[in-house]
């Protein structure tokens, strides 16, 4: 079960890598995963048996918005550069013709991918 969930999470990450990130200097910076599917990261780690010596969800996902509409999306040590655009509180990540939409407000980026909701908070 734990391996299936990790595989599913990695699949979601791969889908996100096919997406992109644009915005001003207020939004640039590094964002770490703080909520996974509506759960605080500690709850999600506990539910999926992660943390401790096995790693944790917040260590697996990292999003870095850079100036010029470029974004680094890192999943389990693998980094992919994607594009981003911000319009008000909406953010769109795009990569190779695929896109993922979400919101960005007060240092929090929320992305929905199929049935998964990922929330990243600015460090």
Q: What is the pLDDT of residues 56-79, one digit of tens each?
A: 888 888 899 999 999 998 888 889
The secondary structure of 37-64 as a DSSP string is TTEEHHHHHHHTT-SGGG--HHHHEEEE
- Structural domain boundaries of the chain? 2-122
pLDDT in tens, 76-122: 888 989 999 999 999 999 988 888 899 999 999 999 877 788 899 99
Among 1.10.287, 1.20.144, 2.40.50, 2.40.128, what is the CATH number of 2-122? 2.40.128
Half-sphere exposure of 99 (CA within 13 A, CB side): 14
The overall average pLDDT reported for the chain is: 80
pLDDT in tens, 26-41: 899 999 999 988 888 8
104 Cβ contact partners less than 8 Å away, ≥ 6 residues apart? 23, 27, 86, 89, 90, 91, 110
Determine the Cα–Cα distance for residues 20 and 44; give it in Å rounded to an integer.
25
| Dihedral pair phi/psi, residue 43, rounded to 5° | -65, -45
CB 59 within 8 A of CB 22: no
């Amino acid at each position: 079960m734990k391996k299936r969930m990790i595989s599913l999470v990695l699949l979601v990450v791969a889908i996100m890598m096919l997406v992109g990130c644009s915005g001003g200097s207020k939004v640039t910076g590094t964002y770490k995963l703080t909520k996974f599917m509506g759960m605080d990261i500690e709850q999600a780690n506990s539910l999926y048996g992660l943390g401790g010596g096995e790693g944790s969800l917040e260590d697996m996902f990292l999003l870095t918005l850079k100036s010029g509409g470029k974004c680094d999306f890192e999943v389990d040590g693998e980094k992919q550069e994607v594009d981003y655009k911000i319009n008000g509180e909406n953010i769109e990540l795009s990569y190779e013709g695929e896109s993922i939409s979400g919101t960005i407000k007060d240092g929090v980026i929320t992305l929905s991918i199929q049935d998964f909701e990922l929330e990243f908070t600015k460090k």
